Structure 1
């Protein structure tokens, strides 16, 4: 006889609550206690466990629940398999996703629109847009009721796989057939356009959204604002910030950091300071990205004492500084001409476990060159395990500045051999320098090497 006041529905609510906070052992214990009191689990009970195990433990652990279901005389349903397929998709296990889909069909369970949505998302995640499109066509040709999520997954997948034009064509085609876009649909397209650096189209889409019955949210504005700053259209980005504020949207630390970083880059330090003061006064909790932005501002102003105090504050607050944090300080010290301080901080980085930081080393090379220590810069270059185009360009450019064109030529030859790129202006400077110094044969040899490298690329 069932214990008075208890039911399977209540049991399922308790299990779902424990699963949400990842207390799966307690969820399992409730099932045992419930059975002892005569409360029998149903398919919802086990589906809750399948979903939780696939999210927080493993796909194998989730799949083992199916055997328990069958032992209890409960047949898995489409939700069971959807949870399993979603779990394999999260781990990018395509073959397992397809096997589970096939197993569901063989068990006589008809896939629903979410089964296809999950499979389509899996193909997109693995960079297989053609296969995802075939699944999308299957949905359209089946008798399944279309769902806005299906179209959003398709548009998002095309954008992330850099098929932005196809995503736009699909969007317009769906509109012509009566599809009413959601805010998330516009946000997906705006984000895709911004990542493709198509700012004008992103702003057009933003205007279209504003003219619809939908209202842009903080994500929409922040996405376009960041794209404006990336494209060096700072005034347009700040206009969007003003519009966002006028509509009453609350800025988070990410939005503030985006604005502050742009103001610092354009040398508008007072406005950047005012913006950071607003962050503090609004009680917004700063993350590492926000601290890095503030650190960059201090270093640009030459306030290194404040920068080091902030570094202590970050560490005392329990945040772990990353390579970028330390690189900001090294770059700032180099630009201020404090090469000794930069070298000390580079040594400190190594003590903290950051052994090979290419960006920081590139800053050191440029700093040494600008301080007139080009031979020390060459020694550092030779000691580096990894070099990139920035390493070579910086050294070649600075060697040209001091008239060491033959050395610059040899270094550029090494760069071309390693398949790295150097700015055209720097290449021209080396060739012109060799000619003017009387090294005509070397200039011709270098020009030939440049042409060969261009053909091979």
Structure 2
């Protein structure tokens, strides 16, 4: 009996190893070989397969394993259904999640706290915070003991669905009832507050964390620091950075780039250069990816002059700018309203030998359209050898805004013939534009073509 048990354990270890590296066919073959040798699979064997199929194939493929379990005389357990529900959640299949939960109850399997955690996460993920809150209340009113993950899911879900005040209130209530939040809970709340631009409250939570028995980690500091910089509270962000360094935390490439970008935005070139030097002295090389990250941040803030200075520094440092570097500059110039500068940079990009620059063309087409220069955008479109759905999306939307809905409709038809379906918002804008301009027949034909294209896709 002991030999058989050890053999099944070895079988499960082998199957788990194959599943982790996505070799599900080999895992299945091991089960077949094991049965031939008299090694009987157990519920763990099949649960490992169910979990792997949910992760790497589909919920349907995983569910077929449940039928095989039952045929082998092995009853699925709560772990089986938790894996299936988690897989359905990952794929945003709410109705499937609810069906599986109901099936588990009908099978006489009692959901555990993880079953409810997954269900709660599913509701949050699909933008249904009220339903998620009801599940949370069910956990509190049941005999189940909530796990720290239960509270983390709740706080994270509330923040992501725009209920940051409720997340903060829940956090404080849990503390009053004796819950000692782990560091991950603090980090989730701080991240949620930062994303909601609640810098003051994020810093207060960081202060509370510093006064507790826990210590903030590099993730905590970097999150708050980035939030301060995004909110243009540069001095506060640099204070966080100083505190982080004084406590001996090592900066990674992302943290360095965040600080350097903030210094560049405030015109502190000497400070930025000093940080670049520190970064390189710490063994982190300032490669082109790091420079591109900084350049992108500057362009998004409309700091075009600082971006040009950084571009000069890249080239003077001996690095060769790539297609992405130049595209960032073109996009930044367009967003800053400097269309002439963007066109000059595109010409310079072509002169440097970057011929395949579809993304750069798309940025300029969008910039021209938004600047009301739709004819020039069309000229640029006609000169392009390659186009993608972003090209058409931008043109169609800007043509609609300019009132040229028939021209936009022709472009949409061409796009559909090439097998591309544009964004829902673009399709809606065009159909609404055609109808409001009196072209109802054209709108009907276009809607029919869109439906057909979606069916054939």
TM-score by length of 1: 0.72
C-alpha distance in 2, partners of 1:309/1:58? 49
1:433 corresponds in structure 2 to none
2:43 corresponds in structure 1 to 43
Q: Is the 8 Å Cα contact of residues 330 and 342 (structure 2) preserved in structure 1?
A: no
1:8 corresponds in structure 2 to 8
2:344 corresponds in structure 1 to 340
C-alpha distance in 2, partners of 1:74/1:135? 30
Q: Is the 8 Å Cα contact of residues 327 and 360 (structure 1) preserved in structure 2?
A: no
Structure 1 residues 368-387: aligned runs within 5 Å: 380=376, 385=395
The Cα shift of 1:354 comes to: 2.2
Q: Is the 8 Å Cα contact of residues 194 and 202 (structure 1) preserved in structure 2?
A: yes
C-alpha distance in 1, partners of 2:115/2:53? 19
2:171 corresponds in structure 1 to 171
Structure 1 residues 25-424: aligned runs within 5 Å: 25-284=25-284, 290-295=290-295, 299-301=307-309, 303-304=311-312, 306-307=314-315, 312=320, 324=328, 327=331, 340-345=344-349, 351-354=356-359, 357-358=362-363, 362=367, 380=376, 385=395
- Unpaired runs of at least 5, structure 1: 367-375, 393-417, 419-457
C-alpha distance in 1, partners of 2:333/2:16? 48
Q: Deviations over 1:356-386 (max 9, x none)?
A: 63478539998xxxxxxxxx96853676726
Higher mean displacement: 88-97 or 163-172? 163-172
C-alpha distance in 1, partners of 2:51/2:222? 33
The Cα shift of 1:148 comes to: 1.1
Equivalenced residue count is 378
C-alpha distance in 2, partners of 1:349/1:361? 20
Q: Is the 8 Å Cα contact of residues 343 and 364 (structure 2) preserved in structure 1?
A: no
1:413 corresponds in structure 2 to none
Distance change in 2, residues 1:349/1:95 (3 Å): farther
Distance change in 2, residues 1:294/1:206 (3 Å): closer
Q: Is the 8 Å Cα contact of residues 346 and 360 (structure 2) preserved in structure 1?
A: no
C-alpha distance in 2, partners of 1:267/1:219? 26
C-alpha distance in 1, partners of 2:46/2:27? 11
Q: Is the 8 Å Cα contact of residues 104 and 111 (structure 2) preserved in structure 1?
A: yes
The Cα shift of 1:294 comes to: 4.7
Distance change in 2, residues 1:329/1:210 (3 Å): same
Q: Deviations over 1:82-118 (max 9, x none)?
A: 0000000011110000000000000010000000000
Distance change in 2, residues 1:250/1:13 (3 Å): farther
The Cα shift of 1:122 comes to: 0.3
Q: Deviations over 1:243-294 (max 9, x none)?
A: 1122222222222221121112112223223323433444447798624135
The Cα shift of 1:309 comes to: 8.8
C-alpha distance in 2, partners of 1:180/1:146? 13
C-alpha distance in 2, partners of 1:304/1:64? 60
Q: Deviations over 1:223-248 (max 9, x none)?
A: 10011001111111111112112222
Structure 1 residues 436-451: aligned runs within 5 Å: none
The Cα shift of 1:306 comes to: 3.6
Higher mean displacement: 152-161 or 263-272? 263-272
1:415 corresponds in structure 2 to none
Where 1:385 maps in the other structure, the secondary structure is helix
Q: Is the 8 Å Cα contact of residues 197 and 231 (structure 1) preserved in structure 2?
A: yes
C-alpha distance in 2, partners of 1:231/1:7? 60
The Cα shift of 1:135 comes to: 0.6
TM-score by length of 2: 0.72
| RMSD (Å), alpha carbons | 3.7
Q: Is the 8 Å Cα contact of residues 53 and 62 (structure 1) preserved in structure 2?
A: yes
Distance change in 2, residues 1:274/1:380 (3 Å): farther
Q: Deviations over 1:188-241 (max 9, x none)?
A: 111111111111111000000011111111111111001100111111111111
Distance change in 2, residues 1:113/1:341 (3 Å): closer
Distance change in 2, residues 1:151/1:310 (3 Å): farther
- Unpaired runs of at least 5, structure 2: 299-305, 380-393, 403-428, 430-457
Q: Deviations over 1:161-203 (max 9, x none)?
A: 0101111111111112111111111111111111111111110
Q: Deviations over 1:298-320 (max 9, x none)?
A: 843164484499885767xxxx7
Q: Is the 8 Å Cα contact of residues 42 and 74 (structure 1) preserved in structure 2?
A: yes
Distance change in 2, residues 1:124/1:310 (3 Å): farther
C-alpha distance in 2, partners of 1:275/1:65? 55
